[in-house]
Structure 1
Amino acid sequence: MPLYRAEAVVLRTHKLGEADRIISLLTREHGLVRAVAKGVRRTTSRWGSRLEPFTHVDLQLAEGRNLDVITQAETIDPFSSRLGMDYERYTAGTAMLETAERLIIEERQPALQQFLLLVGGLRALTSPERRAGQVLDSYFLRSLSVAGYAPSFDACARCDAPGPHRWFNPSAGGVLCSTCRLPGSANPSGETITVLGGLLAGDWPLVERSEPRHLKEASGLVSAYLQWHLERNLRSLAYVER
């Protein structure tokens, strides 16, 4: 079987047979890949711990008919070891992994920007300089933008009239002017809209000086926007402290 190498983040695992696992990976070069890791559930396995969710790894794989087979694994960054001791950061990271997998529709399609966003998000999540909820909300907005669902927080999402605007609707793609307002649109504060723009742009000084009530309102709108475009609930989001 032909061999190839891939830099990847482990998204999810599930059992196969008595000793194997199927590993879902977001790779730098090949997008979403699912591969078998043989024998990793045995206590004698030398590299099973390198294939746990969150781990950033360098892999060698053999091409298979249905699933590829992982033949080597070297750890690049053990994010899992730093997230496992912090419930808030662990649950936020789990939501990031699920989002990354859900946003990539087809396997083995290039997804370099999503890969880089996920690695950067996990790195920020393990840093004490950033709050977990803010990193998660920023990741949600950026990953949606890369997937083609970029929200508008300045101009009206329907008529492009320059803002600021005070109405927000996930189905419309962001903020709306009074003329374009749809029934059921939210009416967040102007400060909350500013926070949303800061999260999308990665303007951390702006986000960090914002009031908790505006951050909380922004988180609710981000969640609504994400789940609208994913077309169903994100299971892991139920465990995230918002």
Structure 2
Amino acid sequence: MPTYRDEGVVLRTHKLGEADRIVTLLCRGHGKVRAVARGVRRTSSKFGGRLEPFSHVDIQLAVGRSLDIVTQAECLHPYGKPLASDYALYCSGETMLEMADRIVAVENEPAPSQYRLLLGALRVLGQGTSDGPRPPSMILDSYMLRALAVAGYAPLLDSCAQCGSKGPHEWFSPSSGGMVCSRCRPSGAVRPSPESWELLSAMITGDWVATRSTSQAAVRECAGLVAAFAAWHMAHGLRALAMVPHD
């Protein structure tokens, strides 16, 4: 039975039979992979807690008929540890994992940019940015915007998404693709504050310095905009996102 080795982040697990689990990972070289971890639910399992969500693992798999089989796993970074004792951090992390699982829809196709984005987001979520801590929901929204951008759904923030006229414009429409002018404004468009426009731009580029003095009101407003944008372009919303606090 041929084998291969990769690094990956555990996105979710499902019980299989009495002692096994199906593990879904986002891997550096193979994209999204679903594999069976045999005996992992037994206390004597050689994998221990290494195949839990948030774990960054060095993993060896054997190619199977329908699902590959985990033969070896070593934990590289337990990203879940700093999140477990903080509700906001944990819920934000869960949403990141759900987002990665959903946005990388095709299995066994390389998705290196999505893999790197997820690793970086989990690291910043647990350790903070180089410019200091930021609200968990802000880090989550930055990750969601950038993951959507990599997938081809980047919101336009400097010109009208409908007619292309150069901005800035006042209106934001998830269904139109971002900023819209007054002439193209569809029903349901909203008018974000100037501070929220600046925060959206900073989050999609990862400019954490520019977010240093952002108000909580702008963080909350942007969370609503990002959630609506993601729900529209991913067909429906993320379940874990409803649990993320924004205060």
TM-score by length of 2: 0.96
The answer to whether residue 211 in structure 2 is matched with residue 207 in structure 1 is: yes
Give the superposed CA RMSD.
Answer: 0.9
Would you say the 8 A contact 2:59–2:70 is kept in 1? yes
Which shifted more, 144-153 or 200-209? 200-209
Matches within 5 A, 1:149-160: 149-160=153-164
Structure 1 counterpart of 2:224, from 220, 225, 228:
220
Structure 1 counterpart of 2:198, from 194, 199, 206:
194
Structure 1 equivalent of residue 18 of structure 2: 18
Structure 2 unmatched ranges of 5 or more? none
Separation of aligned partners in 1, 2:116 and 2:211: 22
Separation of aligned partners in 2, 1:82 and 1:190: 34
The answer to whether residue 134 in structure 2 is matched with residue 130 in structure 1 is: yes
Q: CA deviation at 1:31?
A: 0.6
Would you say the 8 A contact 1:124–1:130 is kept in 2? no
Deviating 4+ runs (over 6 angstroms): none
The answer to whether residue 8 in structure 2 is matched with residue 8 in structure 1 is: yes
Q: CA deviation at 1:39?
A: 0.5
Would you say the 8 A contact 1:13–1:53 is kept in 2? yes
Structure 1 equivalent of residue 45 of structure 2: 45
Separation of aligned partners in 2, 1:231 and 1:4: 34
TM-score by length of 1: 0.98
Structure 1 equivalent of residue 143 of structure 2: 139
The answer to whether residue 235 in structure 2 is matched with residue 231 in structure 1 is: yes
Matches within 5 A, 1:26-175: 26-128=26-128, 129-175=133-179
Query: Which residue identity lines up with residue 71 of structure 2 in the other structure?
Result: T
Separation of aligned partners in 1, 2:189 and 2:11: 34
Structure 1 unmatched ranges of 5 or more? none
Q: CA deviation at 1:130?
A: 2.9
Separation of aligned partners in 2, 1:208 and 1:139: 17
Sequence identity (%): 52
Which shifted more, 45-54 or 141-150? 45-54
Which shifted more, 121-130 or 66-75? 121-130
Q: CA deviation at 1:10?
A: 0.1
Q: What's the CA shift string for 1:119-157, capped at 9, x where partnerless?
A: 000000001423211110000000000011000111111
Q: What's the CA shift string for 1:71-124, capped at 9, x where partnerless?
A: 000111001122111111010000000000100121111100000000000000
Aligned residues: 242
Separation of aligned partners in 2, 1:53 and 1:203: 28
Separation of aligned partners in 2, 1:11 and 1:105: 13
